């Protein structure tokens, strides 16, 4: 049975995570895709092509991407190389305290440039990427022309 995991599943956005796909055939070509929808409903995604090792595993920390939106060993590439579906959009998190970005990861058999609606992933998982840690207090700042927010640790 194929599975993809993100460890830890919930983390701060600036912390590294480990992405591993298991249960593949030895030396199988696969596409790992990550995507999220921002607060404005815009979709951002990235994909990378990998070849599973002898054990049928792809580990983004050890295995090089063969192509896609990036190539080489980029442990966080599926998070760093997210690109908008609509040109000239930027990925910005407005509500940093109330909710995380939910990053969906999928594994497809073969090299999938643009998976069609009928194309089912072999495995999926979701990772939470928070921008503020638990217990952090957000204090709005308005002084003269200065606008911002002060984030105070617990």
DSSP 40-61: TS-EEEEEEEEE--TTS-EETT
* Cα separation, 105 vs 57, whole angstroms: 15
Q: Provide the pLDDT for residue 119.
A: 84
Would the pLDDT of 117 be above 80? no
Give mean pLDDT, residues 36-50: 96
Show Cβ contacts of residue 42 under 8 Å, excluding neighbours closer than 6 positions: 84, 85, 86, 89
Instruction: List alpha helices for the chain, DSSP H.
Output: 77-80
Q: Provide the pLDDT for residue 61.
A: 97
- Residue 149 burial by CB count (10 A; 0-12/13-18/19+): exposed, middle or buried? exposed
pLDDT digits (tens, 9 = 90+) for 4-42: 999 999 999 999 999 999 999 999 999 999 999 999 999
Would the pLDDT of 113 be above 90? no
**Dihedral sign, CA of 141, 142, 145, 147?**
positive
Domains and CATH numbers, the chain: 3-152 (2.60.40.2240)
- Within the chain, strands assigned E span 3-7, 10-12, 18-22, 29-37, 43-51, 58-59, 67-68, 83-84, 101-109, 123-130, 137-143, 146-152
pLDDT digits (tens, 9 = 90+) for 55-69: 999 999 999 999 999
């Amino acid at each position: 049975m194929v599975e993809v995991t993100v460890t830890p599943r919930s983390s701060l956005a600036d912390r590294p995570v480990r992405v591993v796909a298991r249960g593949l055939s030895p030396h199988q070509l696969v596409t790992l895709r990550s995507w999220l929808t921002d607060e404005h409903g815009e979709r951002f995604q990235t994909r990378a092509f990998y070849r599973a090792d002898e054990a049928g595993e792809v580990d983004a920390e050890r295995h090089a991407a063969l192509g896609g939106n990036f190539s080489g060993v980029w442990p966080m590439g599926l998070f760093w190389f997210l690109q908008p579906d609509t040109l000239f959009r930027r990925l910005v998190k407005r509500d940093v305290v109330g909710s995380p970005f939910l990053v969906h990861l999928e594994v497809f058999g073969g090299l999938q440039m643009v998976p069609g609606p009928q194309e089912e992933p072999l495995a999926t998982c979701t990772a939470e990427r928070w921008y503020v840690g638990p217990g952090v207090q957000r204090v709005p700042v308005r002084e003269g022309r200065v606008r911002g927010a002060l984030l105070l640790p617990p």
